[in-house]
Amino acid sequence: MGKQPSTKRVPSEINWLGNGENISHLTFFNFFKSYNRRRAQSRFLATVKYIENEDKKNEVLDNYTKWRKTKSAKDFWKQREASAGRSSASQQDNADDLLSTTNYTNITNTNTNTTNTTATTTTTSDAIETISLSDAKEIIALGNNEPTSHRFSKALHEFKRDIFGSLDSLLTYESHLQHLLALSNILFIGKNSCYPGLQRYFEEPIQIIRQTMYDSFIFNRVDHKFPMDVLVALITITNDLNCGSLTLLNAETKILALTNNCTDKVLIRLLQCVKSMVESLPVVTQKKEIKEFELCTRFLQPCFQKLFDNDNDEILFKWLNVSCFTDTDIDSSQKRPDGCVENDNKAIGYFEVKPIKHSKNHKKINIDLHRLCTFAKIGTATYKSKYMFQVMAVGTNVQFHISEAIGDILIVSELDSIRLPLSLDELPQLIPYLDRLYNVVEAIHRLCYPCHAMQVNNSFGQVVKPKVIKAIMEKSTDRIRENPFYHPYR
């Protein structure tokens, strides 16, 4: 057998080439300041190979070759090493004082591209700067404001102190999502779960806090607001459709007839959603793997548009990331979500999507959950919105969340999780869950669509920067790590 050709790995610094004409050895070395001399030189040479313009590539390499033999090169590396040594000594001397520092930057000054984008724009992220763990801890400490008088703020602040004290051990996305979010002043509460160690920081049980949030939303998962006669009619229609006694066109007509003389806007949305599924779903569940493009466009978009579009306010559901239609690995520094609900003035909801093949990859799932929560915090500060909603889809398993800004923290609460059907065969299984979906959609439209303006000040804080996340997070992936927020996706 012939030898398999080896595949070269594209250097992680490749996005640095986006600097255009400002490409040189010195700009590279100054951008990646944390690299030692040997690593900086080797990574520079590996990256330069990917300059497409041959003349430019040769010019950059020639300039570097001439420079590296000069006295100025020796002085450059000597000064760089001395500067790194002083930085390390300073960090060690000030380690005990880090948490008391309160100089913080308002999140509204953070440059974000969450909105004002189009579905045809490809995401391009700058290469994430590599910094040391001690540098990352210093940056985190600079953002630690004193807590407000609210009991949740005080409890989360104590949790953050303990996280900071244990950062000599790297965090993992699988087991420490709660910790990473807490560093950005975000409290994430799952529908049935949370990080077990979180309880000791709060006086009341987490279950009580969860119920308190639901009560403030006027949300009850077990409310029966979906009319029983309509539910029975839908079961009959979908069963007749599967048995072949009803054509697709007749089924759509009967579902549409259920909206006649109906004044309940949430009910109309759900009926339109079911009608849209009848129009778009295949007859039987396909055995072939459903990739992300098909998942988004055939299975999710028809439902999301019917549930979340609002013509009165010109609020629309839309995909923002072309990369969400690919199966490539997307890093946590991505500047926009996979999808959002917005109009020209504001965004009110964010969406992340993963194909079902990643259901057991807790790291990828939790990266998306982390991104959803950070987008919510940025959106809350940018649009001064008290409430926003977030949707996480793994395959057609959909989790719905609502976030609320309370003082200096953002609380993200999971409302419910519902599996959407993959075929007309599975559609009857969804109908009994329309009661629960009604409660979710009603709460989202009641809280997030009206303007609940709020004052955001410096104490609300900013999200942890990608370079800090890179420094404090374990790079490896391990599916046997315990994940407190695991969902049994199928």
Concatenating the DSSP letter of every residue in 20-60 gives TT---HHHHHHHSTTS-HHHHHHHHHHHHTT-S-HHHHHHH
3-class secondary structure, 321: coil
Tokens representing residue 461 in the block: 């804080």
**Structure confidence by residue, pLDDT tens digits, 318-354:** 998 655 444 444 444 456 899 999 998 889 999 999 9
pTM of the model: 0.73
3-state secondary structure 192-259: CCCCHHHHHHCCCCHHHHHHHHHHHHCCCCCCCCCCHHHHHHHHHHHHHHHHCCCCHHHHHHHHHHCC
Whole-angstrom CA distances from 128 to 23, 133, 374, 382, 469 are 17, 15, 17, 23, 10
Residue identified by tokens 């199928």 is: 490
- Listed residue (396, 412, 414) closest to 404, CA to CA: 412
Burial label for 74, CB within 10 Å (0-12, 13-18, 19+), is exposed
CA 104 to CA 456: how far, in whole Å? 14
3-class secondary structure, 74: helix
**Structure confidence by residue, pLDDT tens digits, 394-409:** 999 999 999 999 888 9
Whole-angstrom CA distances from 162 to 91, 150, 241, 262 are 19, 19, 57, 54
51, 60 Cβ separation under 8 angstroms: yes
Please report the pLDDT score of residue 93 as a whole number.
44
Please report the pLDDT score of residue 95 as a whole number.
38
Distant-in-sequence contacts of 17-23, Cβ < 8 A, 24+ apart: 17/47, 17/50, 17/51, 18/124, 18/126, 23/51, 23/56, 23/60
- Listed residue (451, 339, 296, 404) closest to 115, CA to CA: 339
- If you count DSSP H runs as helices and E runs as strands, how many of each does the chain have, helices first? 17, 7
CA 367 to CA 370: how far, in whole Å? 5
CA 98 to CA 113: how far, in whole Å? 31
Burial 367-398 (b: 16+ CB within 10 A, else e): bbbbbbbbbbbbbbbbbbbbbbbbbbbbbbbb
Please report the pLDDT score of residue 448 as a whole number.
94
- Listed residue (221, 232, 240, 238) closest to 277, CA to CA: 238
Helices 54-67/37-48 angle, 10° precision: 160
pLDDT (mean) for 84-101: 45
- 112 pLDDT above the threshold of 70: no
Please report the pLDDT score of residue 459 as a whole number.
67
CA 216 to CA 270: how far, in whole Å? 24
Select the more confidently predicted residue: 413 or 45: 413
- Listed residue (371, 377, 378, 449) closest to 410, CA to CA: 377
Q: Residues near 246 by Cβ (< 8 Å), separated by ≥ 6? A: 237, 240, 254
Q: Output phi, psi for 410, to 5 deg.
A: -115, 125
The neighbour count for residue 460, using CB atoms within 10 Å, is 23
Please report the pLDDT score of residue 294 as a whole number.
92
DSSP-assigned letter for residue 102: -
By DSSP bridging, strand 397-406 and strand 387-394 are antiparallel
By DSSP bridging, strand 387-394 and strand 347-354 are parallel
Please report the pLDDT score of residue 175 as a whole number.
92
**Structure confidence by residue, pLDDT tens digits, 269-291:** 999 999 999 999 999 999 899 99
3-class secondary structure, 472: helix
DSSP-assigned letter for residue 400: E
CA 352 to CA 374: how far, in whole Å? 12
Band of the pLDDT at 442, cuts 50, 70, 90?
A: very high
Mean pLDDT value across the chain = 83
Please report the pLDDT score of residue 59 as a whole number.
86
CA 379 to CA 108: how far, in whole Å? 9
Residue identified by tokens 């992300």 is: 292
Q: Residues near 261 by Cβ (< 8 Å), separated by ≥ 6? A: none
CA 413 to CA 401: how far, in whole Å? 5
pLDDT (mean) for 3-7: 50
